Amino acid sequence: MSNGILKGKKGIISGALDSNSIAWKIAEKAHAEGAEIVLTNAPVALRLGTINELAEKTNSIVIPADATSEEDINNLLDQSVERFGGKIDFILHSIGMSINVRKKKEYADIKYDWMQKTFDISAISFHKFMQCAFKKDCINEWGSILGLSYIAAQRTFPDYGEMAQSKALLESFARSFGYYWAKKNNVRVNTVSQSPTLTTAGKGIGGFQDFFSYSNKMSPLGNAPAEACADYCVSLFSDYTRYVTMQNLYHDGGFSNMGMAPEVLES
Ligand SMILES: NC(=O)c1ccc[n+]([C@@H]2O[C@H](COP(=O)([O-])OP(=O)(O)OC[C@H]3O[C@@H](n4cnc5c(N)ncnc54)[C@H](O)[C@@H]3O)[C@@H](O)[C@H]2O)c1
């Protein structure tokens, strides 16, 4: 299924580490829908992952950027504009990492310098992308900026640790910066709150497999797969969603509005 809904659009896609990454599927889909893209990831991820394979498949280039570094982001934006021969239409922020979760630190015994690093990587980087692009005025009219979130921003999921607060911050940045971008040149800013997904970041959460199965039963449509998330994100980059902004949009098979699912009780 490809309808060319991104024909002529140019965008930056961050966070594709390997073929399980949500950003990987979004890059494939955006390319299939006619977009020209630039891929980016942290320099260390370029060594560990398989992003060059994706670049070849999508006829794109990879520009390394640590999302916590304004210098790297500015360089990424400048090089992207050069590559595109003009301004950018969309940016995907698909970046998340918790040091305390990775090091299995309990929520009531958190190390605060790690927590700050987590916020910097997973949320403040979203603000940095937006602020750097804002100052450069490098996003086209009716452009679209998107981040990926999770419902732990609203509800308590104990194993998600400090990532819950990262996502709350991420969603709040979308609302606050969304105002400035809309007023500047009609650019929209949203977050997509995705189902649990089997990726490197997802599997890093304690008890992920059991939780994945619980969530699948709680969601009347089942967990939304990464490919479906890609379809949704592509629609949010397209001209079909120009007046959607400052929203956190659930893409979760119905999970967020469920109270009790008989399927969970039965099992
Ligand atoms: N997997 C899930 O269950 C799930 C559910 C909802 C939302 N999300 C969100 O989706 C996004 C993508 O995660 P994913 O599940 O595809 O996992 P992933 O591990 O494939 O992607 C996370 C990416 O963040 C990148 N990253 C980490 N530190 C970085 C830095 N300093 N600079 C630049 N990039 C950096 C990693 O290299 C990686 O590519 C994240 O924001 C995640 O929180 C994931």
Q: Please state which of the four CATH numbers 3.90.420.10, 3.40.50.720, 1.10.3720.10, 1.10.490.10 is assigned to the domain occupying 10-266.
A: 3.40.50.720
Ligand 1 contact, 197 CB (< 6 A): yes
Spatial CB neighbours of 183, under 8 Å, sequence gap ≥ 6: none
Ligand 1 contact, 97 CB (< 6 A): yes
In this prediction, residue 250 carries a pLDDT of 98
How many Cβ atoms from other residues are within 10 Å of residue 48's Cβ?
12
In this prediction, residue 49 carries a pLDDT of 78
Does residue 83 register a pLDDT over 80?
Answer: yes
- Three-state DSSP class for residue 266: helix
Most ligand 1 atoms within 8 A of CB, residue of 20, 22, 117, 169 to mutate? 22
Confirm if 175 and 246 have CB atoms less than 8 A apart.
yes
Which residues does residue 144 pair with via DSSP β-bridges, in sequence order? 90, 188
- Three-state DSSP class for residue 147: strand
In this prediction, residue 200 carries a pLDDT of 84
Tokens 């992952």 appear where? Answer: 49
Does residue 48 register a pLDDT over 90?
Answer: no
Ligand 1 contact, 95 CB (< 6 A): yes
In this prediction, residue 55 carries a pLDDT of 97
Which atom number of ligand 1 is nearest to the Cα of residue 20? 20
Does residue 204 register a pLDDT over 90?
Answer: no
Confirm if 150 and 101 have CB atoms less than 8 A apart.
no
Ligand 1 contact, 140 CB (< 6 A): no
Does residue 134 register a pLDDT over 90?
Answer: yes
Q: Give the distance (Å) from ligand 1 centre to CA of residue 245.
A: 22
Which atom number of ligand 1 is nearest to the Cα of residue 195? 5
Ligand 1 contact, 17 CB (< 6 A): yes
Q: Give residue limits of the domains in the chain.
A: 10-266
Q: Indicate yes or no: pTM above 0.95.
A: yes
- Calpha distance 1→248 (Å, rounded): 26
In this prediction, residue 149 carries a pLDDT of 98
Q: What is the DSSP string of 2-52?
A: ---TTTT-EEEEE---STTSHHHHHHHHHHHTT-EEEEE--HHHHHHS-HH
In this prediction, residue 28 carries a pLDDT of 98
- Calpha distance 187→128 (Å, rounded): 16
Ligand 1 contact, 19 CB (< 6 A): no
Ligand 1 contact, 147 CB (< 6 A): no
> What tens digit of pLDDT does each residue of 91-132 get?
999 999 999 999 999 999 999 999 999 999 999 999 999 999
**Residue 195 confidence class, pLDDT cut points 50, 70, 90:** very high
> What tens digit of pLDDT does each residue of 146-172 get?
999 999 999 999 989 999 999 999 999
Mean pLDDT of the chain: 96
How many Cβ atoms from other residues are within 10 Å of residue 260's Cβ?
8
Segment 229-250 mean pLDDT: 98
